[in-house]
Amino acid sequence: MKVLVPVKRVVDANVKVRVKPDNTGVDLSNVKMAVNPFCEIAIEEAVRLREAGVATEVVAVAVGGSACQEQLRTCLALGADRAVLVETDEPVHPLGVAKALKALQDSEQADIVLFGKQSIDGDNSQTGPMFAALTGLPQATFASEVKPQDGSLEVTREVDGGLQTISVKLPAVITTDLRLNEPRYASLPNIMKAKRKPMDKTTPAELGVDVASSVEVLSVERPAERAAGIKVESVEELVDKLKNEAKVIA
């Protein structure tokens, strides 16, 4: 059984993001980049499936510039067997990424495609479902537990009302939620081994897809500064301010 894990290169979660002076985007100069945290969870789950004897191969794939090789090497150090970079210098958005991954899936024929549920930069939660729609594969989103069955997966999903357990036949698409697992740290020996693991490169043109985005970013701005809070002396004063100033209670 093969598991395909798409990953995204994002600004490190511990870095304070800066907006460019001309408001055209986020300033990425001299900024530490990392594997999207939800994609790390997907890699961890794929590696655990292989360690449990359910999967035989874990393939990490990224769509983006040549710099994505750094994050793919991280995935190899975390336990992926090989990596594929769909290299493009064009800005890519969820639909373009889904198209490229669909073309790759046509050749890879993975049994499970494990996405992170969202990226911490765009926060769209769109790529996995779009990929599932393009491939016609069953999907289980926001997975907090995955149990392999005979020819299927039993997936516990986090939904607004609590938890929902469903069964999806393989091949299938899964998007991982935060509580699915705790990703491991890459050990130094595994980091060294990752340098020798295979990484293939292709392009959207070679895959026969157009990843050009129809989305145009008009402006990027920092969120408005939050006003400082105040202290009140009593419950009565709090209720009065909520009622007459904030007008959030009647």
CA distance 162 to 41: 21
Q: What is the DSSP string of 173-239?
A: EEEE-GGG--PPPPPHHHHHHHTTS-EEEE-HHHHT-----S-------PPPPPPPP---SSHHHHH
Task: Please count the structural domains in the chain.
Answer: 1
- pTM to 2 decimal places: 0.87
Domain encompassing residue 43: 2-244
Q: SS3 for 142?
A: strand
Q: What is the DSSP string of 5-42?
A: EE--EEE-TTSPP-B-TTSSSB--TT--EEE-HHHHHH
Residue 92 lies in a domain: yes
For residue 233, the Cα-to-chain-centroid distance in whole angstroms is: 46
Residue 152 lies in a domain: yes
Residue 77 lies in a domain: yes
Residue 250 lies in a domain: no
Residue 83 lies in a domain: yes
Residue 249 lies in a domain: no
CATH of residue 180's domain is 3.40.50.620
CA distance 111 to 174: 11
For position 43, what pLDDT does the model report? 98
For position 38, what pLDDT does the model report? 97
Cα angle, residue 133 at apex, residues 129 and 138 outer, rounded to 5° = 80
Residue 215 lies in a domain: yes
For position 137, what pLDDT does the model report? 97
Residue 117 lies in a domain: yes
Q: Per residue of the chain (250 residues), what is the pLDDT tens digit? A: 999 999 999 999 999 988 999 998 888 888 999 999 999 999 999 999 999 999 999 999 999 999 999 999 999 999 999 999 999 998 899 999 999 999 999 999 999 999 999 999 989 999 999 999 999 999 999 999 999 999 999 999 999 989 999 999 999 999 999 999 999 999 999 999 999 999 999 999 999 999 988 888 899 888 888 888 889 999 999 999 899 988 888 7
